[in-house]
Structure 1
């Protein structure tokens, strides 16, 4: 059975007071939406996934962003962490790194005192006993820039991921990017620049699809990053903003939108 993890937080009322209960991670059947299991947490988390079903649940408390944070490792189909590792602090802009179809648990880690600086792509081994292993710096250029993390997908043994260049004036035109990199040393194969942050990435060895906060969907050739096509999404003539992508077949794409809909779309080769 195909499943997907989701993070939930219940809200209830005690008298007139609105109370948020502790969040929990649930495994949900992709066949009928049935909840198959849940892990109750004492903190907010973001998660990274591995193709075989392993989850890495990383704490995201804003008040702790300068301090080391626990990462709980949950086995495939399980509801209880088997071990935990520690990463330096997390924040909303610098460290999100949801990688689809990954053969490893990949996360971003910065320096100990200033976690938003000197970020590296690291691997967490659920069967190991050591700390996360550094793979390569998030930035592939010299001198290094301040890059924000973003969504990505593993294709053909490489990593295709999005992000943005931090600038004090805000996101400047051309400062958002998608890049294909070697998972061995981080060397870039190609780069694609954009003006808006990417909200989701998915693809296969032929095509990579990138959704943007502007409402645009772009299809890139996986081999060289060339644009195959691009368009702004509309439903009944009204613009919609895509937040998630799932490539279900070579010509079918599920698109989750900001207004809560899931669009089942055919895509051109």
Structure 2
């Protein structure tokens, strides 16, 4: 190679190698400081796209878990109110049994019926007043199509959501109290005959209420199982995202050390290469 002044190719070559190693060192520094292997699309365009989809799924699934937990809270609210309705129905049956015997007069049965009707009114009040976040639960509002609990990442009817239904649990819907009609069994216990007829009506009311509670219990258990599955799914997605996105610190530190040494060597060689043209001065007399 000729000794020239205008074009120092050894310096240019050293500078090119320095830029390459310094760029690699900068990339390693960014990865180690962020903990991520992929910090921009240039690092791994396909990996970035997959990672962002996984991150969105994980965030959505975690919100789905919260949605399902809200559904459980709603069910527990309804079930708690129905436990009070249960107490009222039991008391009403006790009153009907009391009024069914012949040792009471009709005027005394009327006193018994006053409490009986009060219990029926309280059942209806509970059904009307029980709500969760402003949504009434026991007045028939959630009968039919019910309340949709959405927990999945999509909108598939079979995979991402299902409905919680709660039948009307007012006294009228259960078939007890004066609201069902004066001559209907279960309406009153003001006479011995009506009190005796009310016993079967109250059994039916308790059975209807128990069916509602049993359905709520089944839905609560289903939501609990759904939450467990969602948490496992989110955990596995996070693990997969980590394998794509997170930096292997041990491997990257090795690369960092390697590029640091190469960069230091390139700086030293560039310094030497830049001084070589000065040798031409010794040839000039």
TM-score, structure 2 normalization:
0.18
Q: Which structure exhibits the higher relative contact order, with contacts defined as CA atoms closer than 8 Å and separated by 6 or more residues?
A: 2
More strand by share: 1
What's the TM-score once normalised by structure 1's chain length? 0.18
